[in-house]
Amino acid sequence: MKSFLVIALALLFAPAALAQHQTFAVNPDASEVKMTLKTTHEVVNGTFHIQSGSIEFDRSNPKMSGSVTVLAGSGKTGNDSRDKKMNKDILKVDQYTTVSFAPKTYTGTIPPSGDSTIQVNGVFTLLGNPHDLTIPIRIHMDGSKATAKAQFVVPYVQWGLKNPSFLILKAENDVALDLNLVGQVSN
């Protein structure tokens, strides 16, 4: 009788525990990464294409898994020669085709609907090198639809990338990124 009671309670509470685990599937066509690099001559703005993204999370546990992957060679700044130089000399897209962020943990609350801001700790991989990074992310949940937006700075020179400064044109050593992920949440 005791075994039956344990099994019955486990079956009764299992759906509630499983309902917490969800997956945010990113729609690459509706999502993008914008970059801003300040130079002495101009502010360079560009966009990158998101190749894929899937994040698994649990509202009752601060662990996350999955990744968001960006095609390194998809960057467009409106200047073809600058883009070729960025791809060849800075991002080295022949060797490193993607840039990615793999979340590991978060602090804050992810509500089933509405808005919230969480701090996501994870690994940002650039030129094949992993870097720990914490990103504040604003989330909006609307049924199964979700958006995740973040603005953060990547110290690309400190992380081993070449600064594109040339003669009197000087670029900052950090690049600002504006991430906009759109997708679906499922159990």
Domain ranges of the chain: 21-186
Q: What would the mean pLDDT of 28-46 be, rounded to a whole number?
A: 96
Question: According to the model, what pLDDT value does residue 96 have?
Answer: 97
Question: According to the model, what pLDDT value does residue 166 have?
Answer: 83
Whether residue 34 contacts residue 46, with contact meaning beta carbons closer than 8 Å, is answered with yes
Reported confidence tier of residue 167, pLDDT bands at 50, 70, 90:
confident
**Integer Cα distance of 170 and 44 in angstroms:** 12
Task: Please give the residue that has the higher pLDDT: either 150 or 166.
Answer: 150
**Integer Cα distance of 30 and 11 in angstroms:** 39
**Integer Cα distance of 130 and 107 in angstroms:** 21
Question: According to the model, what pLDDT value does residue 20 have?
Answer: 78
Tokens standing for residue 184: 């679906």
pLDDT tens digits, one per residue of 45-87? 999 999 999 999 999 999 999 999 999 999 999 999 999 999 9
| Residue 155, helix vs strand vs coil | coil
Using the CB atoms, write b or e for 8-27: b if 16+ within 10 Å: eeeeeeeeeeeeeebebbbe
Tokens standing for residue 140: 């909006």
Reported confidence tier of residue 147, pLDDT bands at 50, 70, 90:
very high
Task: Provide the CATH number for the domain formed by 21-186 in this structure.
Answer: 2.40.128.110
Percentage above 70 pLDDT, the chain: 90
Reported confidence tier of residue 98, pLDDT bands at 50, 70, 90:
very high
Q: State whether the Cα torsion 105-151-67-159 is positive or negative.
A: negative
- State how beta strands 145-154 and 21-26 pair: unpaired
